[in-house]
Amino acid sequence: MVIGVLLAAGEGRRMGQPKALVRDPDGTSWLLRATAALDQGGCERVVVVLGAGADEAEAMLASVPVDVIVAPNWKSGMSASLRAGLGFLADGDSAVISLVDLPDVTGEVVRRLIESGTGRDVLARASYDGVAGHPVLIGRHHWPGVLAVASGDRGARDYLAAHEHLLVECGDLATGVDVDSFA
């Protein structure tokens, strides 16, 4: 079982609002688009980790079939969200970890990542024109190691740097750009 974990707890100071509440100029919700990408990409279940703006974001997700949790220490950075998300998973062989602020990452990107291989030992990440990015596919056997090195705003980055993993080219599908401000 592959479970999607969407990290959407960020305060979005440079954006002027919580990242889970950001919308495109046309009104498209980043939160709803990101959950749809995980679902349409083949995740059998989706967990959304919230923090800043949690009440409003959870209300937006009321009719979406996802599990919603709030990271208790979300202000301490991405690692708190990652810990909460992976810690919530009692089942699943692997998790696709994605970020809410990747507005052009679609279900096609998630599907390609999942199709590269799954299972408890998988370790893979999307790349865009050869540059590693998100989402990341992490097998259950790697979860303890990822959580051991996750700190502050550094999620799985250090673990991935120290362990061989598959880069799955997705540059033909998206840019994978992490948008932190509208400037």
| pLDDT tens digit sequence for 43-77 | 999 999 999 999 999 999 999 999 999 998 898 88
The pLDDT value recorded for residue 70 is 96
Each residue's pLDDT tens digit, 87-137: 999 889 999 999 999 999 999 999 999 999 999 999 999 999 999 999 999
The pLDDT value recorded for residue 9 is 93
Confidence of residue 153 (pLDDT cuts 50, 70, 90): confident
Q: Where are the domains of the chain?
A: 2-169
Express as a percent the part of the chain with pLDDT over 70. Answer: 98
Nearest to 94 by CA among 69, 66, 77, 113: 113
Pair of tokens at residue 51: 């923090």
Q: Indicate the DSSP class of residue 177.
A: -
CA triple 113-94-148, angle to 5 deg = 110
Nearest to 141 by CA among 126, 115, 159, 154: 159
Look at phi and psi of residue 30 and say left if phi exceeds 0, alpha if psi is from -120 to 50, else beta: alpha
Count of residues making up the chain: 183
Residue type, 180: D
CA 7 – CA 26 distance, rounded (Å): 23
Mean pLDDT computed over every residue of the chain:
93
The domain at 2-169 falls in which architecture? Alpha-Beta Complex (3.90)
CA 59 – CA 56 distance, rounded (Å): 5
Pair of tokens at residue 157: 């980055």
